[in-house]
Amino acid sequence: MLLGMKPNAPTGGQPDIAVTAAPAAETVARLRATFNTGRTKPVAWRKQQLQALRRLLTEHEDVFAQALHTDLGKSATESHMMEIGFLVKEIDHTLRHLDRWLRPSRVWVPLSLAPAHAWTVRDPLGVVLVISPWNYPVNLALAPVIGALAAGNTVVLKPSEVAPATSAVLAHWLPRVLDPQAVAVVEGGVPETTALLEQRFDHIFYTGNGTVGRIVMTAAARHLTPVTLELGGKSPVVLEPGADLATAARRIVWGKFMNAGQTCVAPDYVLAIGEAGTEIEAHLREAIREMYGTDPARSNDYGRIINERHFDRLAGLLNDGRTVVGGDHDRDARYIAPTVLADVDPDSPVMRDEIFGPILPIVRVPDLDAAIAFITGRDKPLALYAFTASKRSKRRLTAETSSGGLAFGVPTAQLAVPGLPFGGVGESGMGRYHGSYSLDTFSHLKSVLDKPLQADTLRVTYPPYTRRKDRILRHIT
């Protein structure tokens, strides 16, 4: 069902507004009519929307944090660091640079067309559909919306029904603070998403898995709608002897087990070279104890699995190796302890698909050649991480592997650099966003050429062609 406001949603003390249901076609038509008026094109309007969204996130952070805790068991600190605070910084970065990003860019004109001027301008696309996932249900819903609004588009947001508390908060608040004629929130599941995908959009931005990504792309093809697919994959960690393994273990544990491992760029498995495979085990065990205590089930900073279906899938992977630490689980509480598995068979179930949970397999390989061969023999990952003291190894991993992103010495932190694009390659996705790259995604870079009618210098290019014209044209073209 399409909701202008959701009844009984968390309101922070504000009165509810009546709910209006409307079919997907009507919603898209309404937003397209708004776009066609030119309402969203002025830079002032775009900045107003971003500033209003920033106020919502900062003034009602507690409402979003409570919803995230309900859906995923996230602590308020993790919610701020990885969701709310992240978005506020993205908005601030966009507001700081938006005027410059939107400035027309002059382009050189060849002699054959002189005198003339050429430049490029960014045109908003129109009506954008954002389909967001459940694992970071605020961040991954609103980060694309920030870019779409900054580019001057109208937006339909479809939050994930798998995180219902967060979906309800988004549906309740966004139409209150953003232009309701330019932004709509659609709640629901497969039927509502299917109805949306039947409509013609000017861009579709989907974050999720490859199976649904193919469905989205097939639907978009019927209207020749461009798509951005932010998918996932098994993001490896290459671990070499000689690295500071104690520090590496702490950073791996931090990146892997935040949000109970339900992070698209989380380290999926460790490729441990030589003796690093044996030595890292004790360091990982100690790092988990430092961060989550001897009983992570009692830690206020450790999350929960989103639902029973995902819990059952993950529980089925716990026996695919020797348990170094963890392995405890409780279905009723949707709890799986931070778990490290060693002596893992590369062909075991835990190594086939993206784990997307708090299980970290260690696969031992003899050298960097074997590690690179292991990575390149599988689908291209969304992220690749490496802990090494060797500059040569860093150069080789940069040159000889392909991944959405590459980070040395720390996992997941590449997302915190606003100047870096975020996106996948191959099976891990297509397209990119964040910062100016969001403006690239949600804009059309239009080319403009202006040649005055006075002094028709093009006459030399008109037929009939003489020997003199031929010599001139060969010289200037």
Distances (CA, A) of 331 to 68, 293, 314, 335, 369: 20, 21, 11, 6, 41
Architecture of domain 236-418: 3-Layer(aba) Sandwich (3.40)
Asked whether this chain's domains 2-231+431-445 and 236-418 adopt the same fold, the reply is: no
Across the range 30-37, mean pLDDT stands at 98
H or E stretch covering 124: strand 117-124
Q: Is the pLDDT of residue 18 over 70?
A: no
Considering the candidates 61, 264, 354, 427, report the single residue annotated as catalytic. 264
CA distance 134 to 159: 8
- DSSP result, 156-210: EEE--TTSHHHHHHHHHHHHHHS-TTTEEEE--SHHHHHHHHTS--SEEEEES-H
Across the range 188-194, mean pLDDT stands at 95
pLDDT at res. 12: 40
| Cβ proximity of 292 and 300 under 8 Å | no
* Among the listed residues 84, 57, 71, 217, the one whose alpha carbon sits nearest the alpha carbon of residue 139: 84
Q: Cβ atoms within 10 A of the Cβ of 142, count?
A: 28
- Where exactly are the structural domains of the chain? 2-231+431-445, 236-418
User: Can you read off the two tokens belonging to residue 182?
Assistant: 């330019």
* Among the listed residues 252, 251, 256, 260, the one whose alpha carbon sits nearest the alpha carbon of residue 336: 260
Considering the candidates 90, 187, 230, 354, report the single residue annotated as catalytic. 230
Q: Is the pLDDT of residue 389 over 50?
A: yes
Catalytic site residue 308? no
Across the range 420-442, mean pLDDT stands at 97
pLDDT at res. 461: 85
Q: Which one has a higher pLDDT value, 434 or 14?
A: 434
Across the range 215-237, mean pLDDT stands at 97
CA distance 107 to 179: 35
Across the range 436-443, mean pLDDT stands at 98
Q: Is the pLDDT of residue 404 over 90?
A: yes
pLDDT at res. 111: 87
Q: Say what percent of the chain tops pLDDT 90.
A: 90
Across the range 271-283, mean pLDDT stands at 96
Neighbour-count burial of 59, counting CB atoms closer than 10 A to its CB (0-12 exposed, 13-18 middle, 19+ buried): exposed
Architecture of domain 2-231+431-445: 3-Layer(aba) Sandwich (3.40)
| Cβ proximity of 302 and 323 under 8 Å | no
Report pLDDT digits (tens) over 44-57.
999 999 999 999 99
Q: Say what percent of the chain tops pLDDT 70.
A: 95
pLDDT at res. 22: 58
User: Can you read off the two tokens belonging to residue 195?
Assistant: 């109805």
Report pLDDT digits (tens) over 129-165.
999 999 999 999 999 999 999 999 999 999 999 999 9
Across the range 182-186, mean pLDDT stands at 97
- DSSP result, 282-348: HHHHHHHHHHH-S-GGG-TT----S-HHHHHHHHTTTTSSEEEE---EETTTTEE--EEEES--TTS
In three-state secondary structure terms, 412 is coil
CA distance 440 to 123: 10
Catalytic site residue 275? no
pLDDT at res. 469: 86
pLDDT at res. 460: 85
Report pLDDT digits (tens) over 55-85.
999 999 999 999 999 999 999 999 999 999 9
The amino acid present at 108, given as its one-letter code, is W
* Among the listed residues 169, 222, 171, the one whose alpha carbon sits nearest the alpha carbon of residue 192: 171
Q: Is the pLDDT of residue 287 over 60?
A: yes
